[in-house]
């Protein structure tokens, strides 16, 4: 854990309750700092999705019209798998120096750690999406028929849906024998409804056939339900022995 | 005492299964267009009913486990998921066989089919998690996973209703269901639910035994049933023989369905039997 937390919850100090949000931001800052220094996650994610873009464009070589119809699926497949890469890294990092054990001993609420991790991963994936979106546009001649802001909303909600479940299941798969293999096996079945909705919504905006309002509402609902469930269950999973 | 009750239960179940199968093959009127191929219905739907009961059991047991941390709840949860996956596997195998005849294709990405497949995948991943997690933390993590899976189900259902409705085929619960057929269906539902509960009971006892062996407290819980399990196999051969010499296509589909379904049930029972044998060996070694 970072120095700031341990100092303020030292046993002698009078119990000053620290809010979950400030603890969460400490976690986010730590993750961002680590990432800034090593750039492990972002580099591998970026390179991986670049490869996916290239391979897909070889496989399909679509016209502008066709690519509008398939781009939703392509983009989200690429982002989904790069997200899984990021998630695998994010907890493995904590395992090395016994950080998780330290966290279990500390009185800081586990939920702050969970939310911090989620936000950190969310920032990484959104960054990746911002960097990759121009490439998709370039390679596939993409132009959107529908309004662009809807794409942004769908992307943000969809990314949060993936990241919140993914962070939870990555913490779970830490306890399994074949860690990195387990995460997709657990995450993909649960996220199918979110992925299907993201793809459907994106395709609707790109082709301009109908409004994706239903999809956006659905994604928002998915995010609320699973954020709440993971939030409540995380401490149990963290302390599962 | 327990084994006596189990044996009684087994006899009733086998009787009901025989009665249900007889009803499905002989008593139920042939469907106007699909003929005998429609009879797949009589074990497709009951298997789905049984599986959903078991998945509910898994959810309730998982909540109970997280609340009380009782090993009984854990054994019930694993039983519900595993036997449920087997019965749902039967649904997913027998459905396409019928669909090949009725729709001309094995699989359609129809709302109900997609939902069922995802349900099955979710509980498969639950079982995979149980298999590969570290010893101490399995039960807690599996219980959390079960709760998330159960939460996911209504969402999957809605999402398919909204976004993937290619052409929803009304498969069950149509209002023009012949009352005669409905009666047969209900008999089969009862029979297969009993069958599922019987297997679940057996699986549960196995799980409890292995839990006890894990704690080196050996008890002879699951000994009375290994022989009785062969009965369903006999039933299978007994039932199907008189149908095989008729060569109609519809019959082929029906027979194919039966063979596929009972292969799964029997395969699973054999798997349980081998597990039982292994546990018994372990028990004997520990005693020595």
Report the pLDDT averaged over residues B275-286: 82
Q: Does A34 touch chain B (CB under 8 A)?
A: no
End-to-end CA distance of chain B: 27
Number of residues that make up chain A: 241
Range of the domain at A33: 18-238
| Total domain count, chain A | 1
Q: Provide the chain A residues 155-214 that lie in CB contact (below 8 A) with chain B.
A: 165, 168, 172, 175-178, 182, 185-186, 188-190, 192-193, 196-197, 200, 214
Measured between CB atoms, does B164 come within 8 Å of chain A? yes
Nearest to A41 by CA among A86, A94, A95: A86
CA distance B261 to B249: 18
SS3 call for A176? strand
User: How many Å apart are CA B258 and CA B19, to the nearest integer?
Assistant: 16
> What's the pLDDT at B234?
42
- pLDDT tens sequence across A136-154: 888 887 877 888 889 999 9
Query: Per mean pLDDT, which range of A113-117, B58-62, B73-77, B152-156 is the poorest?
Result: B152-156
Q: Give phi and psi for B35, each to the nearest 5.
A: 60, -135
pLDDT, position B215 = 61
Q: What is the pLDDT of residues B89-102, one digit of tens each?
A: 998 988 888 888 87
pLDDT at B85: 93
- Cβ atoms < 10 Å from Cβ of B175: 5
Does residue A222 lie in a domain region? Answer: yes
The values of phi and psi at residue A176, to 5°, are: -105, 165
Does the pLDDT value for residue A119 go beyond 90?
Answer: yes
Number of Cβ within a 10 Å radius of residue B221? 18
Which pLDDT band holds residue B173 (cuts at 50, 70, 90)?
low
Would you call B137 and A222 a contact, using CB atoms and an 8 Å cutoff?
A: no
In a domain, A3, yes or no: no
pLDDT tens readout for residues A160-208: 999 999 999 998 888 888 878 889 999 999 998 899 889 988 988 888 8
The confidence score (pLDDT) of residue B21 equals 85
Does residue A207 lie within any of the structural domains? yes
Contact B218, B286 (CB under 8 A): yes
Say whether residue A226 is in contact with chain B using an 8 A CB cutoff: yes
A229 → closest Cβ in B151, B156, B163? B151
Query: What pLDDT is recorded for position A169?
Result: 92
Q: Count Cβ–Cβ pairs < 8 Å, chain A vs chain B.
A: 89
**Burial track B66-77 (b if 16+ CB lie within 10 A, e otherwise):** beeeebebbbbb
Residue A37 lies in a domain: yes
CA distances (Å), origin A21, targets A3, A13, A217:
17, 20, 26
Report yes or no: B150 at the A interface, CB cutoff 8 Å: no
Residue A160 lies in a domain: yes
Orientation angle between helical segments A213-238 and A179-207, nearest 10 degrees: 160
Q: Could A230 and B129 be called an inter-chain contact, meaning their C-beta atoms sit closer than 8 Å?
A: no
Residue B177: the pLDDT is 67
Tell me, yes or no, whether A66 lies in a domain. yes
Least CA distance to A181: which residue of chain B? B132
Q: Model confidence at A54, in pLDDT bands (50, 70, 90)?
A: confident
Which residues face B133 on adjacent strands? A176
Q: What does the DSSP 8-state code read for residue A157?
A: H
Using alpha carbons, select from A164, A159, A186 the residue that is nearest to residue A175.
A186
Structural domain contains residue A82: yes
Flag whether A13 is in a domain.
Answer: no
Instruction: Report residue A33 as tokens.
Output: 């700092």
Interface contact B156-A192, CB threshold 8 A:
yes
pLDDT at site A12: 53
pTM greater than the 0.90 cutoff: no
The C-alpha atoms of residue A219 and residue A36 are separated, in whole angstroms, by 30
Nearest CA to B44 out of B114, B85, B96, B83 is that of B96
Average pLDDT on A65-79 reads 84
Q: Does B259 touch chain A if contact means CB atoms closer than 8 Å?
A: no
Give the model confidence (pLDDT) of B219-277 as tens digits.
344 444 444 444 444 444 444 444 444 446 777 777 788 888 888 888 888 888 888 88
- Report pLDDT for A154: 93
Q: Is B144 on the interface with A (CB under 8 A)?
A: yes
- Average per-residue pLDDT for chain A: 84
The pLDDT value recorded for residue A4 is 47
- Asked whether A150 and A203 are in contact (CB, 8 A), the reply is no
DSSP A16: P
* Residues of chain A with C-beta less than 8 angstroms from the C-beta of B109: none
- A213, A221 Cβ separation under 8 angstroms: no
Q: What is the pLDDT of residue A11?
A: 52
How confident is the model at residue B132, as a pLDDT? Answer: 83
What pLDDT band is residue A16 in, cutting at 50, 70 and 90? low
Residue B44 zone, left/alpha/beta (φ > 0; ψ -120 to 50; rest):
alpha
B168 pLDDT higher than 50? no
What's the full length of chain B, in residues?
Answer: 288
For residue A15, what pLDDT is reported?
55
Question: Higher pLDDT residue, B111 or B80?
Answer: B80
Would the CB atoms of B122 and A177 count as touching at under 8 Å?
no
Q: How far apart are alpha carbons B194 and A152 in whole angstroms?
A: 52
Residue in B with minimal Cα distance to A174: B133
DSSP for chain B, written as a single string = -HHHHHHHHHHHHHHHHHHHHHIIIIISPPBTTTBGGGGGHHHHHHHHHHHHHHHHHHHHHHHHHHHH--HHHHHHHHHHHHHHHHHHHHHHHHHHHHHHHHTSSS----HHHHHHHHHHHHHHHHHHHHHHB-GGGHHHHHHHHHHHHHHHHHHHHHHHHHH--S-----S--TT--HHHHHHHHHHHHHHHHHHHHHHHHHHHHHHHHHHHHTT-----S-TTTTGGGHHHHHHHHHHGGGTT---HHHHHHHHHHHHHHHHHHHHHHHHHHHHHHHHHHHHHHH-
- Is residue B148 less than 8 Å (CB to CB) from chain A? yes
Rounded mean pLDDT, B30-58: 84
Mean pLDDT of B131-156: 85
pLDDT at A83 (0 to 100): 92
**B261 and B192 in contact (C-beta within 8 Å)?**
no
Say if CB A173 and CB A96 are below 8 A apart: no
**Is the pLDDT reported for residue B17 higher than 70?**
yes
């Amino acid at each position: 854990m970072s120095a700031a937390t341990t100092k303020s919850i030292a046993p002698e100090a009078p119990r000053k309750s620290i809010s979950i949000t400030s603890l969460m931001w400490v976690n986010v800052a730590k993750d961002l700092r680590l990432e800034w220094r090593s750039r492990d996650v972002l580099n591998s994610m970026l390179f991986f999705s670049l490869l996916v873009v290239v391979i897909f464009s070889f496989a399909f070589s679509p016209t502008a019209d066709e690519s509008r119809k398939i781009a939703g699926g392509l983009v989200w497949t690429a982002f989904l798998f790069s997200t899984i890469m990021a998630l695998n890294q994010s907890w493995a990092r904590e395992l090395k120096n016994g950080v998780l054990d330290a966290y279990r001993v500390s009185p800081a609420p586990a939920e702050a750690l969970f939310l911090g991790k989620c936000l950190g991963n969310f920032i990484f994936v959104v960054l990746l999406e911002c960097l990759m979106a121009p490439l998709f546009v370039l390679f596939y001649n993409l132009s959107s028929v529908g309004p662009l802001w809807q794409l942004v909303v769908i992307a943000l909600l969809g990314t949060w849906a993936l990241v919140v479940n993914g962070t939870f299941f990555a913490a779970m798969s830490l306890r399994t024998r074949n860690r990195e293999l387990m995460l997709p096996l657990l995450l993909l079945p649960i996220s199918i409804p979110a992925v299907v909705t993201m793809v459907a919504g994106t395709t609707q905006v790109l082709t301009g056939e109908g409004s994706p309002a239903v999809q956006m509402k659905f994604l928002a609902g998915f995010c609320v339900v699973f954020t709440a469930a993971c939030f409540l269950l995380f401490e149990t999973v963290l302390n599962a022995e | 005492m327990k084994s006596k009750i189990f044996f009684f239960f087994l006899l009733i179940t086998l009787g009901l299964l025989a009665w249900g199968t007889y009803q499905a093959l002989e008593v139920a009127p042939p469907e106007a267009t699909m003929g005998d191929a429609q009879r797949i219905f009589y074990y497709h739907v009951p298997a789905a009913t049984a599986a959903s009961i078991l998945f509910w059991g898994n959810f309730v047991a998982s909540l109970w486990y997280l609340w009380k941390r009782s090993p009984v709840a854990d054994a019930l949860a694993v039983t519900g998921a595993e036997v449920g996956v087997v019965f749902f596997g039967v649904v997913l195998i027998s459905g396409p066989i019928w669909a090949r005849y009725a729709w001309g294709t094995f699989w359609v990405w129809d709302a109900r089919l997609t939902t069922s497949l995802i349900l099955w995948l979710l509980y498969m991943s639950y079982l995979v998690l149980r298999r590969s997690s570290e010893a101490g933390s399995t039960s807690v993590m599996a219980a959390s996973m079960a709760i998330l899976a159960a939460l996911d189900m209504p969402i999957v259902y809605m999402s398919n209703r909204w976004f993937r409705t290619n052409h929803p085929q009304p498969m069950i619960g149509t209002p023009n269901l012949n009352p005669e057929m409905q009666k047969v269906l209900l008999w089969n539902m009862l029979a297969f639910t009993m069958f599922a509960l019987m297997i679940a009971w057996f699986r549960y006892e196995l799980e409890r035994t292995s839990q006890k062996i894990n704690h080196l407290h050996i008890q002879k819980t699951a000994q009375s049933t290994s022989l009785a399990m062969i009965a369903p196999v006999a039933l299978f051969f007994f039932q199907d023989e008189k149908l095989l010499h008729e060569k109609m296509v519809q019959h082929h589909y029906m027979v194919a369905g039966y063979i596929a379904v009972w292969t799964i049930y029997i395969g699973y029972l054999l798997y349980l039997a081998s597990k039982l044998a292994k546990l018994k060996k372990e028990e004997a070694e520990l005693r020595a």
